[in-house]
Every structure is written in structure tokens, then in C-alpha cells.
Structure 1
Amino acid sequence: MSNKLDKAREYEVKKEMTIPEQQRPAFHLTPRCGWMNDPNGFSSYKGEYHLFYQYYPYDTVWGPMHWGHAKSKDLITWEYLPVAMAPDEEYDKDGCFSGSATELEDGRQLLIYTGVNKVEEESGEIKEYQTQCVAVGDGVNYEKFGNNPVITSEMLPEGAGKYDFRDPKVWRENGRYYMVVGNKTPDRDGQILQYVSDDGFKWTYDKTVIKNNHRFGAMWECPDYFPLEGKQILLTSPQDMLPEELEFHNGNGTLCIIGSLDENGNFCEENCQAVDYGIDFYAPQTILTKDGRRVMIGWMQNWDTCGIRRDDFPWFGQMSFPREITLHNNKLIQRPVREIENYYGKRISRQNVLISDSASLSSIEGRCIDMTINVRSTGEDLSYRKFEVRFADNGKAYSTVEYDPEQGIVKIDRKHSGSRRAIVHQRRCRVANNGGDIKLRLILDRYSMELFINDGEQVMSMVILTDIKAEGISFKATGELLMDVEMYELERK
């Protein structure tokens, strides 16, 4: 074990002890201390779920990337494990970037990641070389492969860029190992490359899975590639996107491409859509559970909004609530994992509530809740023009979800949540127009809100850092409507 890894392990143990439990979310994984970004190595190993993450333990800003580590029996309650990797080799001295994990035939766990090495060229320019590397371990301790890196720029196909080449996602299939990895071409276009190996250590280039063709942003980061309900799915996170109406927004986004494989195993696109329509969601990874569910988790943050932070917090960044993903009419459906029901406490239900202005309902409040709202017009004709849910409200700070049934638009808004920074605080998405009927499910967990619309047809996520004593929830209508509410308090077991 290297001195850098020893130092990080000692530091995080001591620092974690100074962080009060109530200063963290109750049901969303945060870093043990310091900084967190992309999920890494989301996997099942020795009967438990493992999740690694991009990690800088020493400060709440991005730094030389380590791999933090946690495990769980149910995808909701996480136990911290010692930091798994530190940037302690020449080929990864400037960061152990994102990657994935699988189990080797001999029972050991294989981590595959991007090593970063900044080199000064003869011109004096600093270039960042990215290579793919592996480490092997027992679920707690990992040893980097002596012949790292296992994939270098010399193993790229013609036309690929040798500098932006990262975030391998690995899987086993038919006795072989495969990985997809993101690449940016010299003309700033994203593509996903596939490599193959017989043992997980010696890799060869297989094929180009897909080219962006200058459609969605530039570099395609953090790919995931898997079958789902007879289709083939590619998830990736494009950088530097341009907006497309309300489907894709500016900056870094998430992209789901649904397709199929032809007789030669080539990916054929059928539909493209955003993964999350909110403010804070990036770099998702998925896992196949033992009971056959495909579950996704992402970094619930946005590179363009890292300015919203609490200066008094000794951590930054959190993971999304795990989501079961399925398909319906060739579109992505996302729902909170069903294990959430094991954390249900008090249930409160109100039926056929008439809302004609602003109303608060007794006992409907809280910051750790699972609340489902069904809204409908009072008659056959549309009887309202806007519906608003206000939450995390203390009379001064609050956040909102709004629905405009005439336009078919849902908006989330945190500009009054207490932020002092003029960054992205609102996001909108277009939803199915059902004559004023809509179903909104809000998962609140102290410092976040995830909105599942119409049984997961669309999801909108955002971080809020409002004081947790702000627990007020109210409802408002322009016009009048009927509303059903069912709320469960979420309790740690």
C-alpha cells in the first residue's frame, strides 16, 4: 500500500468522526469527507452492492482524484469502506478518473479506471494523457496491475483523439470481458469505443459502437451499455451541449439512446432522449440486481452549478436515489427502487381536496418524505391554469414544483432556497398533456428533491441546501382543481 493511500485512509477516518449525521442526507450517499463526483464501479460483489466514487478527501473542491468506496445490502443504507485507490503511480499521478468493476473468474474484484498523467511537451504545453488501467482486490483492498496501463493511445482506432479517452464500463459476456469507453475526436466530436479481453488484463480494440456525428455536445463521458427488455441501451453524458427545446439543456447533460443489435452485433439507434430533465444529475451507472432489475444511480450535481454549496459543510456532492429503469413505448421509465418502502414510517393521505387558491394540509410537511400527488380538473373542461407545490418552506426560503396544464410544462425552481449565487436555479420539461391530469411523486431528503412525473415517464432532480428546519409544504392553484395526496415519512432503520 502506497504512502498516498495510507494518508488518505487515515485522514478520512479522522475527518468522518467530526461530521454530525444530521449534517448529511439521510438516504443519499455523500462522500465520507471532502469532495464527490461521478459514481464508479457500481457492482455486486460477495452478496453486497459496492459503489465507488470520484473522491478528493482533503477539501470540498475538486482535486487529484481518488476512489472513495461504500457498500450496501439494499442500495439505500451505505457503509463506508476505506478509500480504494489513490493517484500514486506515474501513469495515474494526476488522477484515478472514472471507471467500473466486475468479478473475475477466480472470485477477485476487478476495477477498471482511467489513469491521468500530465506531461509537458517540447513546446512547453501541458498535455493530459488518459489511459485505461486495472486494479484487483477483495472488496476492501486493491492492488494495481504491474503492467498498467492496459490500454494506451497506441491502441486507439484511426480518427480517435488520444487525449480525451476515459471512463471505461466493463462487463462479462459469453466467457469474455468487454468494455466501452468514451472518446473525443480531434474535431471535437464524441464517440464510444469497444474493447475486448479474454482475461480482463490484455485488451484489444473491437469496434466503434456509435459516433455522435456532432449532434449532442462534444466529448461523451461515462458510457454505460446494456440490454434491457429486448433492446440495447447506451447511456452517456455529453459535455458542452446546445439546448434542443425542452429535451436537452445547455452544458453537460445526460443522454439515453435506445436501439437494437443487428445480426452482426452492431448498435442501431431507434430513439434518443434525456435521462434527467432537472438541474443536478450526471454520469449515471447501472447494475443488474440478483432479481433481474436494472438499477441506475448518478451524481446528483452539475458541473455548471457547483457554486451552490454550504460553506459550513465538510462534504460536497451526493448520489441520486437509486432508480429502477424499464422501457415503455421505446422510452425510458424511472422509478425509485422498491426498497424505499422498507423505510416508510407514518402514512398520511388526503383525497379529493379542492384547491382554489393556496392551501396547507395538516401533517403534510417534512424534509425526508415520499409524497405522491394526483391532480385533476374539477370537471370535463380544464378548470385551472397552474398548480404549484411549495416545499422546504420556512416563510422566507422555499423551493417549488409548478405545472402548467395548458402548455404541458413542469418547472422546478430553487431560486428562493437560500442560494446567494446567480447560477442555474430553474429547469423545465414538457410532459404528456392529459387534460389537466398529472401525477407528481416527490422524494425529499434534507438537501435534495427528485421529482418522478407520471409514474417515471420523466424525472427532474435538484439539490437544495435550505436549513433542514424548513419543513413547510403547501399547494396553490390558479383556478380550481382536485388533488389527492399520499405521503410517507422516511425513517432510518
Structure 2
Amino acid sequence: MYYNGIYHLFYQYNPKGSVWGNIVWAHSVSTDLINWTPLEPAIFPSKPFDQYGCWSGSATVLPGNKPVILYTGITDENNTQVQNYAVPANLSDPYLREWVKPDNNPLIVPEAGVNKTAFRDPTTAWLGRDGHWRILVGGRRKNRGIAFLYRSRDFLKWTKAKHALHTSAGTGNWECPDFYPVLKQGSNGLDTSVLGPNVKHVLKVSLDVTRYEYYTLGTYQTDKERYIPDNTSADGWKGLRYDYGNFYASKSFYDPSKNRRILWGWANESDSANDDVRKGWAGIQLIPRVITLDRNGKQLLQWPVPELKRLRGENVHFRDQVLNKGDVVEVTGITPAQADVDVTFSFPSLDLAEPFDPTWELLDAQDVCSLRGSSVEGGLGPFGLLTLASENLEEYTPVFFRVFKAGYKHVVLMCSDARSSSLKDDLYRPSFAGFVDVDLTDKKLSLRSLIDHSVVESFGARGKTCISSRVYPTLAIYDKAHLYVFNNGTEAVTVKTLDAWSMNRPRTMN
């Protein structure tokens, strides 16, 4: 949340080790979303209503500028989940270091017919026109995902609505739901309570069964207390994702200081628990992103917060570099292990785009990428970046595009393929991928990748498709890492423009 000039990040944390367990709400603060200072934990198990764990939730700033946290507590060994609240002990403390859990907790308990072991992660509250606050709590009934709706006039007594705000069959347990408005036209973010004719709503859920996140755009019917997704994307695990890689348990919030909505996502490790113990830490927050609605109204756009530019150092720029089939050109003059790379590729024609195999319609983009990787010669593509590469390409993480022809339209595949990322054994090395809904009339595709030692966070076509990968090279580390542009397609591709920056380390706030 943003409160009195300071950003507060609360996150699940084990203060006793780098593996899962002993979870508390850690707390860090920042004035710019980039440089952070960790404080003491805000919430930790201490009462009967959370003695077996303090789990995810959300913050809401109530009228009178009073913040309140809603969170899930576990009350017993049977994993009974309830919704609790906490408030600052001292509103005059600018960092809100200490939080109090009043004794009238829990506020919400699972009633009869609600799965008490799948009832968690309350959302930020929004205020309806009737003066009642509303929140969602994620859950499931058998294999149907559910967003339970609760209402309250005073934020203390909550009543479950007769119907869920939304459900979807075959999706399993819904974790970390998020529900918020976006402008149909314009780039400003909206407070969670905004309603009106120029607004669409987003419902995002994290699916426990797939460990991916999915969202739909749709209409919030306030008279019926129902959310109706548009029919422009699937309402389930084949639907739209914020990120097609290692990205889960995300949360957005409204930043009133800059009239924008910010998205935070978490990426866990792809190596072993023993590796985590040796490192002494596990799991990262990815770079915060600004969310807007694409002009086509069918999907969201995401882009790193502009404050990230403050970490940029040395810059290299070149343009009009032609890449013929098989060309690999190194980008020098920066630190490839920590870099921000923004490149636009152009191509003279779409004629050589290879046919899109009709049998692939049944596959995920990730499966198509595994079949048509960066080393598989194509027509138009694959072309893109080889990140965190060793000098002789024993290790590299390619981020690239392939363009296919499917009937009268073109299909653009974006991949971040970790299969060649490391010589290390026992790693999870998937070929993450997503399709890009982009107009190729100008015959250009853009790619931005944020590279930071063990993470490659990429944004295709100005944030239409995003993929985050966790990788663990053994050779391509520190000053032994390299960065290349490449083309393995028959059609020549031009690097129209490329800007790359060395990225400096953030600092801890005073």
C-alpha cells in the first residue's frame, strides 16, 4: 500500500530459515519502489485465531486515512482458515512498524457448506454506492474455484453474499484473488472503489493446481453482485496470464501519488531446497509493474515502473544492425549479468513465416516453444536475445519471437527458454512461452528484458506478453556473462534500435 508518502510491502517470510515454514508478515518500506528498508515483522502468530499461521491478505486505507490489514489465520491443526484484521499501533509512526490484532478477531469464519481448508487471502476492500464495504475471499467447492463475496457497513461485522461474485468449473482452489477497475480509455490507474461507464473490471486468481495466475476482463454488475467476464478470453487455466513464466501470488494496489495501479509478483526458486539453504534465502519479488488496459480492450498491458531507470548506469546504443540467418552479435559495453535491454526488431516481409501446425491448437504456447526452440531454424524467426550466455554458448537463456502463418492471420510466439540456461543438474528448466496479440502491419516487434543474475524478466510488444524465468548459470556469472542478439530464421531481421544499460544496485533507505 501507499500511505503518507511511503510504500509498504508486506510479504510472506520465514525468519528462521530459507525453506517454507514459520511464516510471518515481513514488512519493508520505500519512497520510490526501488530502494527498500526491511523493518521488523508486522504480523506473526500470537493469538488463538492465527496460532497456526498468518497467511496472505490485503491492505485497505479507510476514510480518515486509517489503514487496516485483512489476513488469513489458521486456528487449529485441522487447517481451519479464518479472516482477521490488524491495525497500526501508532498512526504517528511514519513507518507503521507495529501492528495490533484486536481481540474481536476473527471477523469472518467459514460457515456451513464452505470448505474451511480452502478459504483464504482476502482482497483489498472496495466501497459500494450503498455505503457498504466489500471484499472477496478465495476458495473452492470440489473442483470449482470460487470468489466468495462479503459485505460490511463498519468493516467489523461481515455478511456473506447469497451468491459468489464469480466461480469457474474445473479450476480448483482460487488463491490470492484480486479485483479492481481499469479505465477503458486512458493510462491512469483507479482506486479500487471506482465504478462507472468508462470502467472495466479485472478478476485475477492464482490457481493452486497449476501454480500459474489467470485473469479475465469483464463487467461488474453491481445490482446483481456478479462479475461477468467478457467472451474475449478463456475463463480458466487456458486464459490470459499476467506472466507466462515464474510468477505467482501477485497483488496490485492503487498508488494515489501518481494515479496508477502497481502490480507486484512473486517468483520462487527453480533449484532445490538444499540450494536455498546454501544461499540462505529463497524467493524474490519481481520488479513492480504499472498496469493499464490495452487499447483493444481485450487484455492488460504491463510495464516496469519508470523509477527503475534510476538504477541505469553505462549505456550502449546501436541501430540498423542486420541479422542474417545464423548471425549472433554480441552486445558489449555493459554488465550483462545486471542489465536493462530494450530492442526493436524489424523485418521486410511476412512471406517466410512458417505454417502454424493445426495440431498445435491443442497445445499451450509453452509446448510449442519446446518443439520450436531458439536453435530450430525457422522462416521468420526465431530471433531475439541470448541472455546470461557463456562465451562459447555452453549456457544461455534465449528470449525470442517466432512468427507463424495460420490461415489468413499471423501468430506470434514469444519464448523464454531455460532449457540451455545452466550446466547444473536438478534444475527446473522449462520453455516458458506465450502468444502475443499484436498487429504486425509495421513489421516490427519490441522486446525489453530485465536481467539480474538469476532472473530474466521480459516484456514483449510493450507489455502485451510478459515472461519471467529463474535461471542458475554456472559459467555465465558476474563478469563472465555475455549478451547477444541472434537470428536463426531464413528471413533477415534488422535490429532497428537497441539500448542496453548496466544496472546499479539499489540501496537501503536511511
Q: TM-score, normalised by structure 1?
A: 0.81
Pair 44,263 (structure 1): closer, same or farther in 2 beyond 3 Å: closer
Aligned to 2:482: 472
User: Where does 1:74-113 land on structure 2 (aligned, <5 Å)?
Assistant: 74-105=32-63, 107-113=65-71
Contact 1:310-1:465 within 8 A present in 2 as well: no
Deviations 1:77-102 (CA, angstroms, capped at 9, x unpaired): 11111111111222212210101112
2:146 counterpart of 1:221: no
User: Shift of residue 67 of structure 1?
Assistant: 0.6
2:152 counterpart of 1:197: yes
Deviations 1:417-440 (CA, angstroms, capped at 9, x unpaired): 334225242212222462763111
2:134 counterpart of 1:178: yes
2:314 counterpart of 1:346: yes
Aligned to 2:83: 132
User: Shift of residue 227 of structure 1?
Assistant: 1.0
Pair 212,171 (structure 1): closer, same or farther in 2 beyond 3 Å: closer
- The DSSP-based 3-state class of the residue aligned with 2:49 is helix
Counterpart of 1:297, as a letter, is W
Deviations 1:214-239 (CA, angstroms, capped at 9, x unpaired): 14x20010011111111011111112
CA distance in 1, matches of 2:86, 2:349: 62
Deviations 1:258-302 (CA, angstroms, capped at 9, x unpaired): 111235143221144432343310111111112221111011227
- The DSSP-based 3-state class of the residue aligned with 1:372 is strand
Pair 212,54 (structure 1): closer, same or farther in 2 beyond 3 Å: same
Contact 2:19-2:277 within 8 A present in 1 as well: no
Contact 1:309-1:465 within 8 A present in 2 as well: no
Aligned to 1:285: 251
User: Where does 1:332-481 land on structure 2 (aligned, <5 Å)?
Assistant: 332-356=300-324, 357-363=327-333, 365-378=335-348, 381-382=351-352, 384-395=380-391, 396-406=394-404, 408-418=412-422, 419-432=424-437, 434=440, 437-466=444-473, 467-478=477-488, 479=490, 480-481=492-493
Contact 2:316-2:332 within 8 A present in 1 as well: no
User: Shift of residue 384 of structure 1?
Assistant: 4.0
Structure 2 unaligned segments of length 5 or more: list them: 91-95, 184-198, 234-238, 353-378, 405-410
User: Shift of residue 385 of structure 1?
Assistant: 3.5
- The DSSP-based 3-state class of the residue aligned with 2:309 is helix
CA distance in 2, matches of 1:450, 1:385: 21
Counterpart of 2:265, as a letter, is G
CA distance in 1, matches of 2:483, 2:494: 17
Contact 1:309-1:316 within 8 A present in 2 as well: no
CA distance in 1, matches of 2:151, 2:167: 22
Pair 198,420 (structure 1): closer, same or farther in 2 beyond 3 Å: same
Aligned to 2:221: 262
Aligned residues between the structures: 428
CA distance in 2, matches of 1:184, 1:285: 20
Q: TM-score, normalised by structure 2?
A: 0.78
CA distance in 2, matches of 1:286, 1:400: 29
- The DSSP-based 3-state class of the residue aligned with 1:152 is coil
CA distance in 2, matches of 1:86, 1:380: 57
User: Where does 1:140-155 land on structure 2 (aligned, <5 Å)?
Assistant: 140-154=97-111
Contact 2:334-2:500 within 8 A present in 1 as well: yes
CA distance in 2, matches of 1:427, 1:269: 26
User: Shift of residue 468 of structure 1?
Assistant: 3.2
CA distance in 2, matches of 1:225, 1:160: 21
Counterpart of 1:298, as a letter, is G
Pair 150,473 (structure 1): closer, same or farther in 2 beyond 3 Å: same
User: Shift of residue 140 of structure 1?
Assistant: 0.8
Mean Cα deviation higher: 129-138 or 376-385 = 376-385
Deviations 1:463-487 (CA, angstroms, capped at 9, x unpaired): 2233333430012212321112111
User: Shift of residue 381 of structure 1?
Assistant: 4.3
Mean Cα deviation higher: 188-197 or 397-406 = 397-406
User: Shift of residue 310 of structure 1?
Assistant: 4.9
Structure 1 unaligned segments of length 5 or more: list them: 1-42, 120-126, 241-250
Contact 2:200-2:217 within 8 A present in 1 as well: yes
User: Shift of residue 59 of structure 1?
Assistant: 1.1
CA distance in 2, matches of 1:288, 1:134: 20
2:486 counterpart of 1:486: no
CA distance in 1, matches of 2:454, 2:74: 32
Residue identity over aligned pairs, in percent, reads 26
Contact 1:189-1:212 within 8 A present in 2 as well: yes
Pair 189,64 (structure 1): closer, same or farther in 2 beyond 3 Å: farther
Larger strand fraction of residues: 1
Aligned to 2:367: none
Mean Cα deviation higher: 202-211 or 65-74 = 202-211
TM-align CA RMSD: 2.4
2:8 counterpart of 1:50: yes
Deviations 1:19-63 (CA, angstroms, capped at 9, x unpaired): xxxxxxxxxxxxxxxxxxxxxxxx112221111011111111110
Contact 1:278-1:412 within 8 A present in 2 as well: no
User: Where does 1:244-263 land on structure 2 (aligned, <5 Å)?
Assistant: 251-262=210-221
Contact 1:50-1:69 within 8 A present in 2 as well: yes
Contact 1:104-1:200 within 8 A present in 2 as well: no
